[in-house]
Amino acid sequence: EQLRAQTGNAALRCVHRLDRETSGCLLVARDRDAFDAAVAVFKTRRVVKIYNALVAGRMPNQTTTVDTPLDGQVARTHVRRLMANDDASLLHVRIETGRTHQIRLHLASIRHPVIGDRQHGVKASRDPRMLRVPRLMLHAAELEMDDPLGRETLRAHSPMPADFRRSLQIFGLGKP
């Protein structure tokens, strides 16, 4: 609603939605035709969606794939550890599917919940740093897809926001 008001375009529609506390790339269509064309590209599953996630604990493997079905539907999440210590890991996450809360559920299922996830993550912790994290530490860093209008590949990148970088510092994974 806010973007519609700012642009004066009541036809704007989100194609690529994020959970409320997730930061990063969004795809917004200017009109119904653009929306329908973009949705058709998403249905091909040829859209590359890359996220950064700060999770609890040291992810033991450099890479892993979680393919546990969600709500009876195929769901596949590819995970690569970027940095880690005993308390937390920074991950590069690529999802092939886009199920509701997929990344959060898959990472929690392998005992590395997203830090700040009050719904699917750590419910209680003796670690006071958990209270200093302002939100879900999940960031949609990149989005790449075929142009729905057939011109070329569309690429979007969103730099890591300040609160995410501060949370990396809190857990000893960022520069002071």
- Output the DSSP codes for 69-114: -BTTB---EEEEEEEE-SSEEEEEEEESS--TTHHHHHHHHTT-PB
- For the question of residue 19 being annotated catalytic, the response is yes
- Which helix (H) or strand (E) element contains residue 49? strand 48-56
- Which helix (H) or strand (E) element contains residue 82? strand 77-84
Rounded distance, CA 122 to CA 14, Å? 30
Pick the catalytic residue: 19, 33, 36, 163? 19
Length, in residues, of the chain: 176
Q: Which amino acid is at 109?
A: S
Rounded distance, CA 2 to CA 31, Å? 16
What residues are annotated to the active site?
A: 19
